[in-house]
Structure 1
Amino acid sequence: MMINRTMTQSNANPSPSPTPSISSSIGMYKPSGDNVDLFWQWNSLKDKNNRKSVTCDFCQKTSTGGITRAKRHQLGIKGDVGACRKIPEDLKFEMKKAYESKFIDIEVSMGPLEEDEDEDDIQVISRMKRPSSISAEHTSTTKRRGINVKGPLDLLFARKPEESIKVGKSMRQTSLNDTCNKEARARVNQYIARFFYRNGIAFNVARSKSFKLMIEAIDNYGPHLKPPSYHELRVPLLKKELEYTKVLLKSHEEERAQYGCSIMSDGWTDKKNRTLINFLVNCSLGTMFVKSVDASEYTKTGEKIFELLNSFIEEIGEKNVVQVVTDNGSNYVMAGKIHYTQ
């Protein structure tokens, strides 16, 4: 579990939006006051004088370890209590955010704690993320120095960027509007925009799915992410991306072998006045770039264009090709006629 030790904005302790799925029982009591734990909005007491016996508002399970154990139950932290199965996933994500925000306030203010329960929570996190050989004294010192370590809870709640984007947009937008400081968002956006401007990045990159996934991945990681170095981008990460692309290409090959595909050629001229042709293949999984060819010596006649197209068709597999889409230049028209005559 990552504990953020620095206050990043004035409203570091947002209150997640209420949910209509919480059941209420007659005679149940909820503590109130300035120092009451956030999780009391999802838990209740049968006896207001006994705060060690806490009942979950979702599944009505009663635990005897106080609000701390009730948190573990609702957050699904493995240990001495079973996880609640009736909390909606989107609310559970909000509850985790509230759980982290509580620690931010504790570390910044060092104010009064409710029955030492929040202090107990910090010690629980310390045990989760540190070897058992570390002394309690060192643990107490470390938590105040502000070391940012990810632990089992982060792995439990971690979402892939693709999954986060699919989470209801209305829920995410409402959460942001209610809790996020507009000035802080504007400041972050200005840094992103400056990165675009100073590096000559096209504005339409902001519309790409990979850009959104990158932002979502950074958000899921949290603060203090060490960005990739020049060497990492140039060697290990590039190799991993190549392997990932090969996997995508393999799935496309299997798809077009079963359902067929379309070959598309896109010709253009570079600054050196070379005629280049990009070859792409489209199937039910989408369009994939395959290769680019220097066709400076091929584009002058229809016969040469036919040779180039025919070699690519054989590379893809003639039985898999449904159609070929090209420019409407006279040389391409001639290449098409030659193809039909053979």
Structure 2
Amino acid sequence: MPRRTHVSSGASGSDNAGTSNNNNEATNPESVTVDDRAPLWMFVKKISKYETGGSWRWQCNFYKLYYNGSHTRVEKHLLKKGGKGITICTKVNPQATAQIRKLFKDCKERIANRAARPVPLPLSTSQGSSATRGSYSLSYGDYTAPTSEGKKRRAAGGPLEKAFQNAAREECHDEIARMFYTGGLSFNLARNPYYRNSYMRASTLPGYVPPGYNALRTTLLVKERKNLEYQLEPLKLTWRDKGVSSCSDGWSDPQRKPLINVMAICESGPMMLNAVNCEGEYKDFNFISELRTESIKQVCYQNVVQVVTDNAPVYAKAGALIASKYSTIFWTPCVVHTLNLALKNIYTPSHAANNVDVYAKCSWIQPVVEDVMFIKNFIMNHGMRLVMFNDHCNLKLLSVAPTRFASAVIMLKRFKTIKNGLQQMVISTKWDDYKEDDSRKAGRVKEILLDDFMWDNI
């Protein structure tokens, strides 16, 4: 995000640009917020933005003429650089021009000061392990090695090493590793087949430069999407003959934005249609019905056999609304969600009146699940207890979402797998010696984990 700075300027009276009381004033005492990357927008009036890029239709506050273009053209106009399709501003006096130039220069200096500083790459192995014995500064080429290793270093740079370009290879490896570290990239990216293939192909193209930021997010992205749509055409051609089930499910992304995924599934395979951001929307049955209707139109309603959702009342109502609108489409509740609710109803006391016989036989499940969740929450919510757990257990505690199928069964299965580690944790001296958290709950956790009857129930 561009850094914004408060300065004194003549920008006032416009939501995006500045106005001046006369043509000879570039500044006034009023303080405004300036975008360091595009500070000269404050001296023009933005009229309308074009659909793509950063170009606007704008009017100079001094010259009062209209132009089309980005901030670069504003710069050429106000700083009197001129260029193709843009004239210099002749209405700004030298004093105002000097003030505008100073503002532009100050913004560039602030951007340069915030830029990342270059850090030298690690020393190559041709310099031996002298990195631990020599010395080097943060500037390139300032490394000083001990004189006692001079012969070894000279020998390492022999004709064989030069022939295989070992030093250049190591520098290339270091640059790639630096890209991973500074970009926060997952190491699993190195297992992506396209990662290796891209470098192998680039090595055959002398002078090749990888695509930049704008190319990756615009032209190349559009090109890849068209290619995927082309590859999916054979799958779409089978929809008419085999029919489609339109499925959807709600979830939240890492920013907690509520999303609804819509998929088209047939015998030939599944296909993701879209993911709708429902942030700020009231998800009643009318909204869900309209959303699913749009996905049906995308597939063509003649190809859709059924609409599959979970059993929530709002989805059931939306499914009935769609079924009434399209006579050939049926609403089907999700089987996995149905089984999950059935498993919960078996051992939930609040539903005992509806299934007395079954609850009498399965009532022991609820206390076991509650004890396991109590242990899991106690360990996860206390840092030192979590450290003790990690010391004794190779696997992690699963935190299964309540809406997932058989979430209680999955949690109990993981506890059974790490039984020995959990018991070793609570009988260790560290568990009893640590008194900084709730020792009463810690004792209760120890009592449960050492209870053979509880493990038999699991």
Q: Structure 2 length as normaliser, TM-score?
A: 0.29
| The structure with more radius of gyration | 2
Q: Structure 1 length as normaliser, TM-score?
A: 0.37
Structure number with greater CO (CA < 8 Å, separation at least 6) is 1
